[in-house]
Amino acid sequence: MKLKKTITKALNTCRKPFDDAKKLVFPTGGIDRFRFDPKKPHTYHFNKKGNTKLGGRIFSFSTLMADYTYKGMRGVLKNIVGTCKNCAACATSCYVRSSYRYPNVIFAQAVNTWGMRNEIDKVENDLAAELAQYKPEIVRLNQSGELEDDEQMAMWCRLAKAFPDVKFYIYTKMFSIAEKFLLGGLVPENFTVNYSVWHEVGVKEYEKVKHLPNVKAFVYDDGKDFILKTKYYCPAYKIPAGKTRAVLNHDFTCETCRLCITGKVKVIACHDH
Task: Please give the residue ranges that form the binding site for ligand SF4 (CB under 6 A).
Answer: 65-66, 84, 87, 90-91, 94, 96, 144-146, 234-236, 252, 254, 257-261, 268, 273
**H or E segment and range at residue 163:** none
CB of 65 to ligand SF4, least distance (A): 4
DSSP lists the bridge partners of residue 140 as 60, 169
Is the Cβ of residue 94 or residue 215 nearer to ligand SF4 in the bound state? 94
CB of 85 to ligand SF4, least distance (A): 8
CB of 86 to ligand SF4, least distance (A): 8
CB of 35 to ligand SF4, least distance (A): 26
Is the Cβ of residue 92 or residue 133 nearer to ligand SF4 in the bound state? 92
Is the Cβ of residue 158 or residue 199 nearer to ligand SF4 in the bound state? 199
**Percentage helix, strand, coil, to 5, in the chain?**
35, 15, 50
Instruction: Please give the Cα distance from 53 to 50 (Å, whole number).
Output: 8
What lies within 8 Å, CB to CB, of 82 at 6+ separation is 63, 64, 65, 66, 67, 68, 69, 113, 145
Instruction: Please give the Cα distance from 146 to 98 (Å, whole number).
Output: 18
Is the Cβ of residue 84 or residue 246 nearer to ligand SF4 in the bound state? 84
Is the Cβ of residue 15 or residue 57 nearer to ligand SF4 in the bound state? 57
CB of 171 to ligand SF4, least distance (A): 7
Instruction: Please give the Cα distance from 62 to 123 (Å, whole number).
Output: 12
